[in-house]
Structure 1
Amino acid sequence: MIRTAFRSAASLLALSTLVAAAPPQPVTPMTPDVVANYEQVRPEADFVKRVIMIPMRDGTKLYTVIMMKKGTANAPILLSRTPYDAKGSVTRTASQSLVDVLPIMDKEFVNDGYIRVYQDIRGIHNSEGKWVMNRPFVGPLNNTKIDESTDAYDTIDWLVKHVAESNGNVGIIGSSYLGFTTLAAEVNPHPALKAAVPESPMVDGWRGDDWFHNGAFRTNSLDYAVAMSTKKAEGNGFAVGPGDDYTRYLEAGSMGDYARKLGIENYPFVQKLFQNPAYTDFWSLQAVDKILAARELTVPTLIEVGQWDQEDSYGGPAVYKALAAKYEGSGLLHLAIGPWRHSGANHYGYDLGDLTFTGDTAAEWRTRYVKPFFDHYLKAGADPHTPPVLTYSTGVNRWNESPRWPMGTPTPLFLDASNGASFAQPALAGHDDYVSDPAKPVPFIPRPIEMGDDEQWKPWLVRDQRFVSDRTDVLSYTTAPLTKSVHIMGPPEARLFASTSGTDSDWVVKLIDVYPNEAPEGASQGSKQDMSGFELPIGIEIFRGRYVHSLSAPEALTPGKVEEYRFNLPNVDHVFLPGHRIMVQVQSSLFPLYDRNPQTFVPNIFYAKADDYRKATQSVFYGGSTASSVMLPVVP
């Protein structure tokens, strides 16, 4: 018997050796040097990778990549639904280690046995179907039975039924567009969806996320539209080459002229923008905060946004505000604001621009808050007692846990005579004037400007504002040096009394922390450079004047008539330190990030003509019944 077994084993060994030693097919100099593919996942890999086309209820199949460590069992699923190429999301390197091939944000999860899933949303990259930007939910704007909510439901349903290693619990996470699809999964959630972390979500593209801010158009939306709408998100954006975007956009004229010059005016999403410049039902019925407010929140949700998010600063806090009255403090709703750029929470959080923080704040957020949050709901882990609100106090560099948001009491910082600012009511009433010239708009960062350059784009909201402080079309109002700290927690609100000699106008308000000029704080606070005199923006926002009385029905401004413009700056947790000064700047352009206002009323600014762009005298009022101010949410 032993001898027979030995002979059998020997025969198998001889057979395997024979098979392994089989010679390759003969080749000639003209043999085609092409193979179908190379399998990147080698036998020594520490993970399992599965690619599945998951069917939706209408038969459309969505490309889905499932990743897990070998030996995973009884594990939760963490899902992200993306327009940015699921295949590329799981091939960061050609490594055989799972933590190397996945984004850095996934490290703690997969090392703890999570199953990580990325999926191309409908019509994008390797998924079937038709692509619609921020596809509206089933309802007045969508008469089909399909939206991102139903696709998320069908995906989760398939995963919990077919991934044998799963424990049946699913969480969803994602930033920016993925923040939108994360929130979409909560509109009509699958029972297996136990927790959600929407980060910097796209919520309302007109009020303050990607396409417009209070009616002012963000010009780089067109580049994004071309990249995402060409084939299946295979476009590369504008083919304009290097150069100064300030000059490029200025010479083009209106945004309609620019679109025609580039041959993109007939892109469907470009026309959606151009045909809908006001806040009509086209935009308001898509607003995710309004949609979620009309439904019951059943999925524990931890919303995150960066304090200096240069793309989607509005959406996350808007969703929290819409749900707070009913769910604040319930354990279902949480808000986090960190010292980051857009999507910075998922990368390295040591610094931003010239600012340096005390350690990797992004890693702290992920390991101390996000991971325990998911563990609790997906793995029956210990209750992490996630605070209702978590914020990072810039200026003093520490985390704060709060019971609500906003925390501060609105306190007016008044604009005053002689370019002053004070918490005291101004003794005198008056106004300051400047001439706004559309031919010489105020740049949003120092020139030359390339908005596609990450080194310029990602940190632009913390750029030292001294580069515009001496312009005659920028008004600066500054307090005396502070004798004690001023801590704000919430969205500052601009209350600007102003008039124009034109019939339309944009108004930009900046809240700025001015560092002492005598004391180089860089060395003591770990900054990359000497911060003496640095003018750090805490919040910047714009408002298009034609919407002062109605966001949906624009009207011409009356020349010389004083109007009150009220609009919020982004949500912040910041401490102005003793010796610092608080500055408020007012201007009428922020170019070329936002399109130029012609300053004469035209029905649709996208199609303004060259002679519509005219100089205007702008007046900002202080004191008396027209006391301009910024309401600061001050806490003790």
Structure 2
Amino acid sequence: MKRYILLAIFSVFLIVSCDKKTDEKSPKKNTYVADNYTKKEVDIVMRDGVKLHTTIYSPKDTSKEYPILMQRTPYSSRPYGEGKMKSKIGPNVHLMKEGNIVVYQDVRGRWMSEGVYDNMRAYIPNKKENESDEVSDTYDTIDWLVKNVENNNGNVGTWGISYPGHYATVSAIDAHPALKAASPQACIGDFFFDDFHHNGAFLLSYFRAISLFGTYKDTPTDSAWYSFPKMNSKDQYQFFLDKGPLSNLNEYFQYDKLDVNATSSKDKIDDFFWKEIVEHPNYDEVWKSKGIIQHMNKVPSTVATMIVGGEFDAEDLYGPLETYKGIEKHGKDNYNTLVFGPWDHGRWASSGVRNAVGNYYFGDSISLNFQKNIETKFFNHFLKGKGDKNSGLPEAYVFDSGKKEWKSYDSWPPKNVVKENWFLSDNQELIYKDPNTKFKTKPKKIQFISDVKRPVPYSEDIKTVFTPRKYMTDDQRFAARRPDVLVFETDILTEDFTLAGDILAKLKVATTGSAADWIVKVIDVHPSDTKENNDKLQDHLKMSNYHLMVRSEVLRGRFRNSFEKPEPFIPNKKTDVNIKLQDVFHTFKKGHKVQIQVQSTWFPLIDLNPQTYVDNIYKAKEKDFKTQTHTVFTDSSIEFTVLK
């Protein structure tokens, strides 16, 4: 029973079926779908003979034709069985109630579909006869649907959040002629930069989720075939600190190469995804082949795309932005739009009125307005309307998370942006310098001790989570007051300062060791006398002097020059480390301050770097972990994209 409870919780986290949660709490069962739709389950045969389980919801009103809205998912198209219906279908309630044919499909190797599953299954550009990938599976499915589902108007749209968002991206590559609109949302772009990795660093906080994707199955099933590792602790920081090196986590998995002191245990699982992670620590062909953003030149102009992302999405921030930019780069004639809002992972699908991420409140009805006025309008225009480029929607519809208001632009980033370099000073100041200004004095050193026994936590909360979320807007005062976190900030701003685009941290560093991670955080320091009020804050917090984390990122230092070919640091040698932080749209308002934090551990969001170079950190031993002294030089700078 615990397994199914965990599955339900995790599905909510990844798919963000907040509407479903609301229904389950309601004493009244929502019967709209049952009253207005019929359900049919079919197994569609792919070109290589594998059958994919597909559920089709068709309006009972057969007096007109409808478009097909399809979601392909690894998280199950359930409920299975005659007479069992979802309580809500489609991207949102408006598209459900106005009538569309809504299709869900279990992707290859998941749940009731045949075949063997592969995370981010590699795209095959020039397929031979009967060769298949997710692109061909999508094409074959659409082909069957438009030929066999009654009352369809010949137009198909795809959508999905998180992993289903990835499959929506896939649908647009070498697309079927019937596909007219695709909306990849919180879509994974590349597994070396999304979800389980960030710039080569392993997201240790996702450890418990690995078995969801890596437990082998080759027969259809309507029940969970995997189990989750048991932590037996409510303190994930201490749990992972006590576990020590990543190699000690092998005890939760069983396979030949990595089976350490193998004994049979009901808590152990055979996991090909864990093995893949451990055996491929660098950005090699395994990870490159799984990346999808490399193929945005294959999206035809016949498919309109609307990419949706959350500005505070801890899981998939890289994917949506890079997917949008990739289509923009290659598809000059494509209709391609970006929606970038104040959400965590998939929260735009919520039916809730209040919009907040963690402790930080952004306003009311933000998600509801998106569903009604943006998402519904997009699909209706391209599936039921004229389908031309005059959709009435902006190219970029983005939320200023500082001013808490939406803006529309003809491009993203907006055309009127400039790059500005702000330097890190030895007296904890963040100082703007004209690009033509030369340093009059020799850069100074700022040092801190990075203790592997006492790493910097990513959150002050004492808890365990499947996938972290709220830390993306957490108050960073707890970190700013540690000696192993360097703090640099501006004076109180006398006018608004708006960032609109990516951020590049250009660090000049050194270490007494031969390895190190580098983390940079951009923070909005609120005034002590702020008038902002938020009665939903955690009890120990106040909005007075709130340190809002606007953006943050890590780079595993060994990958500073190449993700394919890692290299050690030369001890005590000054070295360039450049870290790209994903786009923001945030105004630091007059009276606030801009703060930068620099640190070398972020635990257990990411795994602990040994700080001595080893070929494979996943196989590092206790003796490899050493406390080191790190140096940041004052000719380090942060390159902001500033809206003028």
TM-score range, shorter chain: 0.7 to 0.9
Paired letter, 2:184:
P
* Secondary structure at the counterpart of residue 116 of structure 1: strand
Question: 1:31-65, CA deviations, whole angstroms, 9 ceiling, x for partnerless residues?
Answer: xxxxxxxxx98997332111111221122111111
How far the C-alpha of 1:356 sits from its partner, in A, is 2.0
Equivalent of 2:214 in 229, 232, 241: 229
Equivalent of 2:512 in 484, 495, 501: 501
- 2:411 — aligned with what? 404
The answer to whether the 8 A contact 2:123-2:289 is kept is no
How far the C-alpha of 1:260 sits from its partner, in A, is 2.6
**1:135-150 residue pairs with structure 2 within 5 A?**
135-138=121-124, 145-150=131-136
How far the C-alpha of 1:219 sits from its partner, in A, is 1.6
The answer to whether the 8 A contact 1:156-1:190 is kept is yes
Q: Distance in 1 between matches of 2:144 and 2:92?
A: 22
- 2:251 — aligned with what? 260
Q: Distance in 1 between matches of 2:156 and 2:68?
A: 5
Paired letter, 1:241:
N
Question: 1:333-388, CA deviations, whole angstroms, 9 ceiling, x for partnerless residues?
Answer: 11121101011121246222222223221222221111111111110258433222
- 1:119 — aligned with what? 105
Q: Distance in 1 between matches of 2:384 and 2:558?
A: 52
TM-score between both structures, scaled by the size of structure 2: 0.85
- Larger Rg, first or second structure (1 or 2): 1
Equivalent of 2:595 in 580, 583, 597: 583
The answer to whether the 8 A contact 1:297-1:332 is kept is yes
Q: Distance in 2 between matches of 1:394 and 1:81?
A: 32
Q: Distance in 2 between matches of 1:42 and 1:465?
A: 45
Q: Distance in 2 between matches of 1:226 and 1:628?
A: 41
Asked if 1:216 is matched to 2:201, the reply is yes
Question: 1:211-248, CA deviations, whole angstroms, 9 ceiling, x for partnerless residues?
Answer: 21111011244422212333555324212234211111
Q: Distance in 2 between matches of 1:632 and 1:94?
A: 52
Asked if 1:84 is matched to 2:89, the reply is no
Paired letter, 2:45:
P
Asked if 1:635 is matched to 2:643, the reply is yes
Equivalent of 2:400 in 385, 389, 393: 393
Asked if 1:548 is matched to 2:555, the reply is no
The answer to whether the 8 A contact 1:173-1:179 is kept is yes
**1:152-551 residue pairs with structure 2 within 5 A?**
152-206=138-192, 208-230=193-215, 232=217, 234-261=225-252, 263=254, 265=258, 267-293=271-297, 296-327=300-331, 330=333, 332-347=335-350, 348=352, 350-380=355-385, 383-407=390-414, 408-424=417-433, 429-452=443-466, 457-522=468-533, 530-551=542-563
Structure 1: tracts of 5 or more residues without a match: 1-39
Which is worse superposed, 496-505 or 228-237?
228-237
- 1:18 — aligned with what? none
Paired letter, 2:629:
T
The answer to whether the 8 A contact 1:508-1:543 is kept is yes
- Residues 515 and 502 of structure 1, relative CA distance in 2, 3 Å threshold: same
Q: Distance in 1 between matches of 2:492 and 2:595?
A: 11
Q: Distance in 2 between matches of 1:535 and 1:87?
A: 42
Which is worse superposed, 427-436 or 537-546?
427-436
Paired letter, 1:307:
E
How far the C-alpha of 1:142 sits from its partner, in A, is 11
Which is worse superposed, 398-407 or 216-225?
216-225
Q: RMSD of the alignment, in Å?
A: 2.7
The answer to whether the 8 A contact 2:186-2:309 is kept is yes
- Residues 520 and 127 of structure 1, relative CA distance in 2, 3 Å threshold: same
How far the C-alpha of 1:89 sits from its partner, in A, is 9.9
The answer to whether the 8 A contact 2:214-2:274 is kept is no
Which is worse superposed, 479-488 or 443-452?
443-452
The answer to whether the 8 A contact 2:300-2:334 is kept is no
Paired letter, 1:337:
F
- 2:56 — aligned with what? 66
TM-score between both structures, scaled by the size of structure 1: 0.86
Q: Distance in 1 between matches of 2:637 and 2:410?
A: 28
Paired letter, 2:194:
D
* Secondary structure at the counterpart of residue 210 of structure 2: helix
- Residues 378 and 51 of structure 1, relative CA distance in 2, 3 Å threshold: same
Q: Distance in 1 between matches of 2:93 and 2:530?
A: 41
Equivalent of 1:45 in 31, 35, 39: 35
Question: 1:289-322, CA deviations, whole angstroms, 9 ceiling, x for partnerless residues?
Answer: 1122356454111111110111011011112222
Paired letter, 2:636:
S
- Residues 516 and 462 of structure 1, relative CA distance in 2, 3 Å threshold: same
- Residues 519 and 135 of structure 1, relative CA distance in 2, 3 Å threshold: same
Q: Distance in 1 between matches of 2:286 and 2:207?
A: 18
Equivalent of 1:563 in 562, 575, 580: 575
Question: 1:400-426, CA deviations, whole angstroms, 9 ceiling, x for partnerless residues?
Answer: 111222233221122112111122367
Paired letter, 2:212:
A
- Residues 285 and 230 of structure 1, relative CA distance in 2, 3 Å threshold: closer
Which is worse superposed, 81-90 or 113-122?
81-90
